[in-house]
């Protein structure tokens, strides 16, 4: 990987200042009232998890479909940049930019937490970053099966909410099968940590952390391996 | 360098874009593909650049099938597509550097590779302006600079003169000449016939996805006589009965357009204009076309070769909802298709199934 797409995406993020400001402000405006409210901690953690997962998935799928429609993916596809490098660097850059944009929201989460200890809080940015990388990779997958930006938005919402739900965000584990699914779900670690922070707990990452690590690894490998097919579908959808 | 045999492409919709085209291009050659809209020029070029996969036949570039061009082969091709797609948030310079690097130019060499090209196409003054603020012509020039920046051996340029001012077209001609001198190959598609005849070492005429001629410009043009064409666009479309002067015959006679041929050349203009005015019509634009490629094309296919407007920096675009273009409506399209079928049958090649297919 040459890093060309990574540096391009980072540069583009700094050039699109209005978008950057909006993407920084809106999550903060959504998180701050919840964080500072007296809402139950599991409600708070659910709101944060949904927001962060949707933020990453939408932020990856929609621009990808937009670039496919504009012919930019096709144009870059005609260069010597390998498809795997193109998509993986794009997802990596997307996760970095998303993480930076969510820093104020994360600070609001910490501010509204019930004095979570430093060790727990220190995990927040890495776990949010890892989860956003997974969300960005998932965004690429859903974009590749969508035929328009509207379809992409729908698929991104459905997929992100499904994975958030599978991670046990909206309920407590009731039985072994459900528990197993929750343990291997990508946003389990994020939800666990946000719950700890919101409740002022002192726990650090458990099984959810390992699941997140495995998802980062496997989703990256899958995206790299399937990148030619993904880009082929995306460019065909873009020129249809 | 380029070798295509029975190359065909069918759109996913089932429509044939290209049928059984053979094409060769050797080092030092500039092959110009000419044909009306929908004749398959863009599809042919996209196939050669590896942008589309053939649905029939084969095409090889530098010995590799276009189906599986590796990075080494891609690096040797400079493709200028018909759509000028850029990273609008970045400046022209940044775009050119990015695409040069994406084609394998080293980070340190990229500025030196692109800056002379930006100067050549008069973009150096706007190199630090975001491309989102560029005009159509500037975007086209930047696209050409980007296609040339990595010094490719094979240039594949789709409608390279569109949107260019006269200076840029001249510059492009010089670039192509230098490219050919240094042993490079170029395959261009254009409807700018003056540019095509001037710059081609070989002309390929396409019609309805098939190749109808492939020869040096001189060989093609020597087959037609010296008659000139006068193309008159009428200001007020109507059913005018224009009595043509002696020795002048109409090629197209429609409510808004009259195209005549005469061996008297421009000498026919005074009497022709008088005849138009006598009939109550008013000329809005008069264009003299030297006999040449359109005539060759008409003889081969029976159809009219759409000719580009004289070079404008910003070609006017028709709004999509103003009804059929009178120029197109006046064209004897069906007759042309029928004559093409007859010619194809006489030549022993099967013509397209139906003109209405496309």
Other Cβ atoms less than 10 A from the Cβ of B148: the count is: 25
* pLDDT tens digit sequence for A76-113: 999 999 999 999 999 999 999 999 999 999 999 998 88
Q: How high is the pLDDT of residue B297? A: 85
- Measured in whole angstroms, the distance separating CA B196 from the mean position of its chain's CA atoms is 8
Instruction: Find, in chain A, the residue whose alpha carbon is nearest to that of B143.
Output: A75
How many pairs of residues across A and B have Cβ atoms under 8 Å apart? 46
- Spatial contact of B37 and B22, defined as CB atoms under 8 Å apart: no
Cross-chain Cβ contact B85/A71 below 8 Å? yes
Cross-chain Cβ contact B81/A16 below 8 Å? no
Residues of B in Cβ contact (< 8 Å) with A16: 89
Q: Does B322 touch chain A (CB under 8 A)?
A: no
Cross-chain Cβ contact A79/B83 below 8 Å? no
> Residue B27 pLDDT > 70, yes or no?
yes
- What burial class does residue A143 get, using C-beta atoms within 10 Å of its C-beta: 0-12 exposed, 13-18 middle, 19+ buried? buried
> Residue B263 pLDDT > 80, yes or no?
no
Indicate the residue of B49, B90, B102 with minimum beta-carbon distance to A4: B102
Q: Which of B48, B64, B90, B101 to mutate to test the interface with A (most CBs of A within 10 A)?
A: B101
Q: Does B90 touch chain A (CB under 8 A)?
A: yes
- Spatial contact of A19 and B89, defined as CB atoms under 8 Å apart: no
- Measured in whole angstroms, the distance separating CA A203 from the mean position of its chain's CA atoms is 23
Rounded CA separation A137/A223 (Å) = 7
Indicate the residue of B83, B89, B130 with minimum beta-carbon distance to A71: B83
Residue tagged 């059913």 (tokens): B239
Q: How high is the pLDDT of residue A136? A: 98
What angle, 0 to 180 degrees and rounded to 10, lies between the N-to-C axes of helices B333-346 and B293-301?
70
Using CA atoms, how far residue B47 sits from A95, B185, B202, in Å, is: 36, 16, 19
Describe the strand order of the beta sheet including B16-25 as a list of residue ranges: B16-25, B2-10, B56-61, B64-65
Per-residue pLDDT for chain A (240 aa), expressed as one digit of tens each?
679 999 999 999 999 999 999 999 999 999 999 999 989 999 999 999 999 999 999 999 999 999 999 999 999 999 999 999 999 999 999 999 999 999 999 999 998 886 667 778 888 999 999 999 999 999 999 999 999 999 999 999 999 999 999 988 887 656 656 677 888 899 999 998 999 898 877 766 777 888 999 999 999 999 999 999 999 999 876 544
Rounded CA separation B173/B196 (Å) = 10
* pLDDT tens digit sequence for A107-147: 999 988 866 677 788 889 999 999 999 999 999 999 999 99
> Residue B315 pLDDT > 70, yes or no?
no
Residues of B in Cβ contact (< 8 Å) with A11: 90, 94
Residue tagged 């020029």 (tokens): B41
Residues B154/B160/B164/B165 CA torsion (nearest 10 deg): 70
Q: How far is A143 from chain B (nearest CA, A)?
A: 20
> Residue B345 pLDDT > 50, yes or no?
no
Residues B133, B136, B137, CA angle at the centre, nearest 5°? 110
Q: Does B132 touch chain A (CB under 8 A)?
A: no
Q: How confident is the model at residue B306 (pLDDT cuts 50, 70, 90)?
A: low
Q: Which of A80, A90, A93 to mutate to test the interface with B (most CBs of B within 10 A)?
A: A80
Average pLDDT rounded to a whole number, residues B112-125 = 94
Residues of B in Cβ contact (< 8 Å) with A72: 85, 87
Question: Of A100-104, A207-211, B62-66, B272-276, which gets the smallest average pLDDT?
Answer: A207-211
Q: Does B157 touch chain A (CB under 8 A)?
A: no
- For residue A201 the two structure tokens come to 């707990």
Indicate the residue of B12, B90, B102 with minimum beta-carbon distance to A79: B102
ipTM: 0.90
Q: Which helix (H) or strand (E) holds B33?
A: strand B30-34
Rounded CA separation A6/A29 (Å) = 29
Q: How confident is the model at residue B200 (pLDDT cuts 50, 70, 90)?
A: very high
* Phi/psi at B63 (5° precision): 85, -10
Rounded CA separation B211/B343 (Å) = 12
The mean predicted confidence, pLDDT, of chain B is 83
Q: How far is A134 from chain B (nearest CA, A)?
A: 26
Indicate the residue of B89, B94, B99 with minimum beta-carbon distance to A79: B99
Rounded CA separation A189/B241 (Å) = 84
Instruction: Kindly report whether the global pTM for this prediction surpasses the value 0.90.
Output: no
């Amino acid at each position: 990987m040459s890093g060309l797409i990574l540096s391009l995406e980072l540069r583009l993020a700094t050039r699109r200042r209005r978008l950057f400001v909006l993407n920084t402000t809106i999550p903060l405006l959504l998180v701050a009232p919840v964080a500072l409210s007296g809402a139950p901690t599991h409600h708070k953690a659910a709101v944060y998890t949904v927001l962060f997962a949707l933020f990453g998935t939408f932020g990856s799928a929609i621009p990808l479909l937009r670039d496919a429609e504009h012919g930019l993916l096709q144009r870059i596809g005609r260069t010597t940049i390998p498809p795997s490098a193109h998509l993986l660097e794009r997802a990596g850059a997307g996760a970095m930019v998303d993480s930076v944009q969510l820093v104020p929201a994360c600070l609001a989460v910490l501010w509204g937490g019930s004095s979570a200890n430093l060790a727990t809080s220190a995990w927040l940015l890495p776990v949010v970053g890892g989860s956003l990388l997974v969300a960005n990779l998932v965004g690429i997958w859903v974009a590749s099966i969508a035929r328009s930006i509207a379809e992409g938005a729908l698929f991104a919402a459905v997929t992100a909410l499904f994975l958030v739900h599978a991670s046990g965000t909206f309920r407590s584990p009731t039985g072994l099968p459900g528990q197993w699914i929750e343990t291997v779900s990508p946003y389990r670690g994020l939800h666990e940590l946000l719950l700890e922070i919101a409740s002022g707990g002192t726990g650090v990452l458990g099984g959810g952390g390992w699941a997140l690590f495995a998802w980062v690894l496997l989703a990256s490998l899958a995206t790299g391996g399937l990148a030619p097919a993904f880009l082929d579908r995306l460019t065909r959808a873009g020129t249809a | 360098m380029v070798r295509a045999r029975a190359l065909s492409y069918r759109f996913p919709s089932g429509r044939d874009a290209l049928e059984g085209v053979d094409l060769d291009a050797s080092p030092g050659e500039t092959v110009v593909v000419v044909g009306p809209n929908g004749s398959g020029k863009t599809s042919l070029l996209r196939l050669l650049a590896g942008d589309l996969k053939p649905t029939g036949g084969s095409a090889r570039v530098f010995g590799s099938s276009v189906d599986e061009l590796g990075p080494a082969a891609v690096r040797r091709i400079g493709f200028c597509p018909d759509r000028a797609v850029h990273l609008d948030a970045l400046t022209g310079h940044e775009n050119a550097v990015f695409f040069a690097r994406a084609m394998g130019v080293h980070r340190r060499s990229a500025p030196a590779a692109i800056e002379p090209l930006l100067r050549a196409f008069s973009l150096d003054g706007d190199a630090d302006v975001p491309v989102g603020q560029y005009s159509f012509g500037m975007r086209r020039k930047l696209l050409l600079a980007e296609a040339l920046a990595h010094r490719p051996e094979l240039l594949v340029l789709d409608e390279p003169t569109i949107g260019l001012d006269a200076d840029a077209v001249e510059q492009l001609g010089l670039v192509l000449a230098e490219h050919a001198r240094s042993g490079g190959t170029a395959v261009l598609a254009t409807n700018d016939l003056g540019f095509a005849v001037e710059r081609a070492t070989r002309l390929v005429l396409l019609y309805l996805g098939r190749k109808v001629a492939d020869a040096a410009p001189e060989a093609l043009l020597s087959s037609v006589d010296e008659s000139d064409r006068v193309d008159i666009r009428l200001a007020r479309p109507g059913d005018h009965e224009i009595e043509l002067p002696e020795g002048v015959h109409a090629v197209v006679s429609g409510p808004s357009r009259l195209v005549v041929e005469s061996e008297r050349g421009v000498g026919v203009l005074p009497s022709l204009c008088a005849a138009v005015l006598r009939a109550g019509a008013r000329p809005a634009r008069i264009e003299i076309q030297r006999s040449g490629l359109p005539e060759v094309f008409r003889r081969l296919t029976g159809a009219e070769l759409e000719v580009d407007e004289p070079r404008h920096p910003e070609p006017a675009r028709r709004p999509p909802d103003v009804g059929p273009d009178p120029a197109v409506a006046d064209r004897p399209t069906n007759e042309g298709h029928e004559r093409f079928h007859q010619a194809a049958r006489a030549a022993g090649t099967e013509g397209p199934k139906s003109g209405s297919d496309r």
